[in-house]
Amino acid sequence: MVVNIGTSIMEVINKMNQRRLTFVISLIFLCFSFASKGSQNAEDTFEQLCASCHGKNLSGGMAGSLLDDQWIVDGSPDALTKIIAEGLISRGMPAWQDALSAEQIRALVIYINEQRFKASRRVVPDETQPSRVTSLGHTFDITEVYIAPSILWALEFLPDGSFITTQRDGALYHLSADGELIGDIQGLPEVWQQGQGGLLDVALHPNYHNNGWVYLAYSYSTDGEVGGLAIARGKINNHRWEDHHVLFASDPASHSKSGRHFGSRIVFNDGYLFFTMGERGIRPSAQDMTIPNGKVLRLHDDGRVPTDNPFVNTPDTLSAIWSFGHRNPQGMDVDPTTGLIWEAEHGPRGGDELNVVTKARNYGWPIITYGMNYDGTPMTHLTAKDGMEQPKHYWVPSIAPAGISFYNGDMFSEWNGKLLVGGMAIQDLQLFTIDGDTITAKEIVLSDRGRIREVKVAPDGSIYLIVTIDGKGHVLRLSISDKTT
């Protein structure tokens, strides 16, 4: 990489007093040395260019700490990007825009925000957590109602208040509201349990009380070597799966050996079946309109493709596609007030997104993102581009969002109409206030109870969470005990 630093360094020297000259000369050699190394991860970039002033652990040195809130800028990603690029000569901070690419600066911003979050977080061991919590206008009890032998993925409530829950290794359990095992559903379709794959989402038909249809999302394989996503429906009679119909099965041409990024969340809206599919770890596939990878898809409840789907008459395009450019969307719910579909998806390192899913829109992955590669190396400096949707919210650092659910009940009256979002990497249950398609506030309900995979509102208004602790699925119930005044 060739770095043109001569002019900018001379300008810096002219503006700085003589006692800083030694620092500037050393900076010139550092820039040339760094430029010769090419792309590297953000941690190494920080250590080489920033640690001598801000400290290796970001706690301060010649310059201030990056872990507290005593900053001369507001700490937002945009402000941090600007000051790294342009510097602040009056405070002795050089401009790095000639020594670092835009992608490297973006990666550095993510790294600093990750370290700030880690420093601010005090993780309380699970066994010391109180069972009664006061948060955001309510005092409520947290009760562990069930522990599964392995990872649970989703749950769905039946009209009588009991629920069914999927275990990723292929089991489907029927439990009472208090977590008593009523039955283990037999005769389920065979799943391809590979990595993140297995038996994933479960959903009831909106008219379930009349037709009895239950919908499953699961990974499948025709040869045991590569796999994709299937959506099926059936009925549960005497704890047996019957009347199995596959409504959608990804074409083997789109299959992969990878066990990553299946998506798999199901919702119904206006009588249509919507479901997500991740890009299976193959980034360009999210923009490939011939395959379902990296898409939100829309079908009739019986698997037929609606004639008003946006690409139904477009040559060389999969007719079930509703939107595209998604990475790994594992959360989706419908706002009961507006009818808008909200979707949460995993970004790379940084850049998890909360989107409103709109017909025919491109959500940009992998061309635009607020994240970087998992190894800390830059991905792209593009966070926006014409013709591509911006997220309604993005998380840096990543929270690994999974299940999301609009609260619509009486028990937690202060939260009515708000969106609950669970995080797996950052173990928060977050609450979003929404006005139309705009987020107006984000708050934390609770933290550090495990990796929150699923969030669901029960018929009585209590909130159920699926969390993973030490490889086992735990079902937690949040129920109101008193309201704060």
DSSP string, 218-255: EEE-SSSSSBEEEEEEEEEETTEEEEEEEEEE--GGG-
Check 54, 255, 261, 393 and give the catalytic one: 261
Q: State phi, psi for 333 to the nearest 5 degrees.
A: -155, 160
Task: State the Cα–Cα distance between residues 118 and 49, nearest whole angstrom.
Answer: 21
Residue 290's DSSP bridge partners are none
In the chain, the amino acid numbered 372 is: M
Coil, helix or strand at residue 444: strand
Coil, helix or strand at residue 88: strand
Length of the chain: 485
Strands 163-167, 328-334: pairing is unpaired
Nearest residue to 325 via CA among 371, 357, 373, 298: 357
Q: Which long-range contacts (CB under 8 A, 24 or more apart) does 231-239 make?
A: 231/266, 231/273, 231/275, 231/299, 231/303, 232/189, 233/205, 233/301, 236/164, 236/174, 236/185, 236/212, 239/174, 239/182, 239/183, 239/184, 239/185, 239/186
Q: How far is CA 75 from CA 89, 173, 320, in A?
A: 18, 46, 42
Could you tell me where the DSSP H helices lie in 357-459? none
**Residue 256 corresponds to which tokens in the numbers above?**
């992969």
Which 8-state DSSP code applies to residue 100? S
The edge-to-edge listing of strands for the beta sheet with 472-482 is 132-135, 138-147, 472-482, 463-469, 451-457
Q: Token pair 């850049």 is at which residue?
A: 351
DSSP string, 252-286: GGG-BS--------EEEETTEEEEEE--TT-GGGG
Q: How many CB atoms within 10 Å of residue 200?
A: 24
Task: State the Cα–Cα distance between residues 304 and 231, nearest whole angstrom.
Answer: 12
The edge-to-edge listing of strands for the beta sheet with 266-269 is 266-269, 272-277, 295-300, 321-324
Task: State the Cα–Cα distance between residues 117 and 397, nearest whole angstrom.
Answer: 7
**Residue 447 corresponds to which tokens in the numbers above?**
């933290």
Task: State the Cα–Cα distance between residues 124 and 127, nearest whole angstrom.
Answer: 8
| Residue 261 is among the residues annotated as catalytic for this protein | yes
Task: State the Cα–Cα distance between residues 350 and 370, nearest whole angstrom.
Answer: 6
Q: How far is CA 250 from CA 45, 229, 301, in A?
A: 41, 6, 17
Catalytic residues: 261
